[in-house]
Chains A and B, each alone.
Chain A
């Protein structure tokens, strides 16, 4: 509720005008029974045909003005609700774009996308209907009651009893269906997950012959969804019938009271008709309201899911005040660096200390889960170090604004990923003002020139969604070009040449060494040959530094390095 209100606040004018016009419409509607009562009590009683026709004209005028006012109101409410939803979408998107890797993995991209699309839609419909009806309906309901009081106080007491009763009932229904709708939503998400797993994992499922187990799982999940739906339906099935029944009983009571009052001479026949009309107006309004409650309960549970996203802290990092860079410092200086992932027990990195001079090359080698990728994440300040520090050009990483880090570091991640658009577009993502020459230079250095040249449309060749029209090796080279194009001071290659053959990889390494701006380079690889020439090599195991130095030194001092090295160079001898 508060969530939606916050967004509607940006469209204050529309959000206020919409219900206001709806209220005007309601007022015009409320006059109708009065006019009709006059037709009966004055026109028919006095046989005044002219009066009847004139009052008839009055009814048409009320209707026409009502139409104009209603259309205006619909316009304002559509504008407010949909623009607010648009703002919601962009807030969510901007917020999610700030999520750290961990948060993204935890929430799951599919679920995040569903929230921005489906949930925002539910909230939008809810807001729209709220603006249109949640003020109009109570206004008609209470307006009709007040009008009834102006007609006859004693008869109107029926309204005063009935309306709170209806209100209570509607509240109870809403209150008890809300959590049920939430569970239904969760049930749907569960079966979606099962379907997706069975599509993505079809080979594993068939190879392990667990089709029957999957079928049982799906049957259970759809069965429990069914029970949830029936449970929620049991309550909402009462909504319309109870409303109808209460109103009809109200009309009967009203007619009885009217009979007594008319008999005593304190009420006319026409006024009785007006009272019954008011009661019927309330009925029509409440039926609409009741159907909307379903929509609103859904909207409220969607809004909860949205505010859950927005209240997730995407960035727990510390940003300290700016320090002045010193030109004499090393490019990378790491001291006593330790790190533990949030919600994890063990250290992912412990007590790493090293420094890399400008233009030098650092190689990192180590096993799966040894902390190589963690170190890279810390270098680009995706997380804060738990203890120890990282200095880039002598500045503490926590004091460097994010956009400066982005400009400083060119990082080629393990998994080569291209975006839908042209090759040119993909390069421009890293450097929006890149010239044609800069693009070709970067491609050349990344050994990717021939890939682009072979394509019919060159740089404007379309990259399909997920980059499916390029092979793994081609994608890797293109992502390297993308990292090179902004001429980063520090270049990080995270096992990014794994799909390349040795010859191409060697050429790539030579090209990188020959880059005119001499970037400091960090190479992470599984191949000893890739890091062999580095100025120093860091050997990681279980998050700890097991060796640091040149290849020749490590061969003497570091058994793990020697082991890796020997498996690869034994081969060479044999060949």
Chain B
């Protein structure tokens, strides 16, 4: 059932290329026929060269002219086929990748949060290649193989039926041997890929923590563990490779036996006078290559199965549900009033998180959300930004349900710095101007200065043009956060979200950027999630959350007077 729909998808995917595919198949057929004609022509030529003084030069020239002609046709067919196949394979792979990526930009954040990133990436990168390679090459090989076998048999029967029978009789043997080996090596390959997966996971962990491993003095231990896994992989790889490499010699052997049989039977018939030496030569030409296509076809079947599996994996991404958006817009400037009305939300239905939450924030207010891990602080932000949608109730901005405006219109109004810093592998300048691509150099430096980042950026080898490596290179966590803050300061929307935005920045630096922060927040509705309470004492509203519920809300003073959860948390942080 699933296979059927995958097949359908593949066919519809290939539809725009159907003309090319048909042309490729015609060329493949041309290649097969012209290749098979060569042995016949060789035989004819040999029959023109019988012995001293008995050479038919007129006939020989004619045959040779034909050989040159056939060779030219083979060349053209093969060359054009290769070019067309390349074009189809690479185009389809590109298209698949682009489609998958486009969908990735539109899937709900929950999908990306819940799926393994490595898995998604390998689908887009590796599976796209394996699919197109496997499908097209597999298909061409299967087609050429079957055609070659059929063509060989037809050509042979046309020359002499008896000898053709000798070759055909050996066919099942070729198939059996190829299949036997394929099955044996399949099991070995499975073991190999499991061992390889184990090793890769281990490498991933240890290499990303190499520095820590050396601090712990656990290098030797890691080496031992690695060696054990590596040896296991080596062992299964030797076996898998050896078994699969038996195919070639075995087929060659079967071939050689067929060759000998054809030679003997042909020679005996020739003695009896029913076949010429040239015809025998043609037969030998066919026999020499007879088993090869069988060998290829057996390989093709596993390859095509694999291609199918890969296709299904990419289609899963392309078919992933996407967020439904409307094109509603806010009327005019957003003032920044934010309300939540009876909001309920949970990531998994069995585990209710936020239940019946209501709150109201006036424009320009600073709201702080505090509470233990797992209280739902970050979830509130997910809902505000519509990374997730509420299960029931409503979030409103300027009294308008945020589900009635487009996500883009909503997010345009929010600026955000998260605890998990994220910077692109690009120059510092590009990273800072992410939200404002037309920012001038002065504006960028200005923002960096405000975020206290200018100094360390200047110290980097190429200043603002320093290209960050994929993992942020030598920048510390705090420095990365400063860059994220500078990025926000450059493009200032009317509402701000700071989710542990200064968690990795030390108190001193934090103090230095406090003024800039205060200026930034002025007149802007701001949501702050903070661990260190000193930064949020001046908030207009503090929400104390636990298990998805707001247990207390009020100003710092009010909450301290109340002497409840917040007061307890505060004292635990600041009395020594």
Contact = CB atoms under 8 A, between A and B. Distances in A.
Q: Do A and B come from one complex?
A: yes
A263 interface: yes
A196 B411 CA distance: 22
Given A96-B210, A196-B117, A209-B411, A191 B576 contact: no
A229 interface: yes
Given A74-B242, A248-B70, A252-B64, A97 B256 contact: no
- Considering the complex of A and B, which 4 residue pairs feature the smallest CB-CB distances, nearest first? A63-B256, A265-B52, A56-B264, A237-B82
Nearest to B215: A411
Contact of A368 (B79, B230, B281, B509): B509
A82 B212 contact: no
17 contacts: A40-B277, A59-B264, A67-B250, A194-B101, A208-B491, A219-B98, A245-B71, A245-B74, A262-B55, A264-B52, A368-B504, A369-B479, A373-B476, A429-B218, A432-B221, A502-B576, A568-B534
Contact of B233 (A86, A473, A572): A86
B68 A198 contact: no
B191 interface: no
Interface stretch (A104-112, A145-153, A451-459): A104-112
A218 B124 CA distance: 12
A174 interface: no
A355 interface: no
Contacts of A417: 209, 212
Interface stretch (A45-53, A164-172, A297-305, A329-337): A45-53
B241 A204 contact: no
B256 A66 contact: yes
B119 to A, nearest CB: 10
A262 B531 CA distance: 98
Nearest to A250: B71
B15 interface: no
Interface string B105-143: 110010010000100110011000000000000000000
B45 A255 contact: yes
Secondary structure at the B interface, as helix, strand, loop or mixed, is helix
B241 A128 contact: yes
A75 interface: yes
Contact of A109 (B51, B208, B246, B434): B208
Given A59-B260, A502-B573, A255 B42 contact: yes
B299 interface: no
A193 B97 contact: no
A66 B208 CA distance: 49
A341 to B, nearest CB: 7
Interface in A243-260: 244-245, 248-249, 251-252, 255-256, 258-260
B52 A263 contact: yes
A345 interface: yes
B260 to A, nearest CB: 4
Given A44-B270, A99-B210, A199-B112, A284 B90 contact: no
Interface stretch (A267-275, A389-397, A441-449): A267-275
A430 B207 contact: no
Contacts of B205: 419-420, 465
A93 B94 contact: no
Given A96-B207, A207-B385, 16 more contacts: A25-B249, A63-B259, A63-B260, A66-B252, A116-B203, A117-B203, A191-B125, A208-B411, A248-B68, A251-B42, A252-B68, A268-B51, A277-B284, A382-B211, A406-B216, A420-B201
B404 interface: no
A353 interface: no
A348 B196 CA distance: 42
B368 to A, nearest CB: 15
A160 interface: no
B256 A429 contact: no
A263 B55 contact: yes
Interface in B494-522: 503-509, 511-512
Contact of A203 (B57, B109, B434): B109
B422 A52 contact: no
B507 A252 contact: no
A155 B318 CA distance: 61
B83 interface: yes
B482 A368 contact: yes
Contact of B121 (A81, A192, A276, A502): A192
B238 A79 contact: yes
B347 interface: no
Contacts of B245: 74, 77-78, 128, 132
A575 B561 CA distance: 10
B285 interface: yes
A47 B271 CA distance: 5
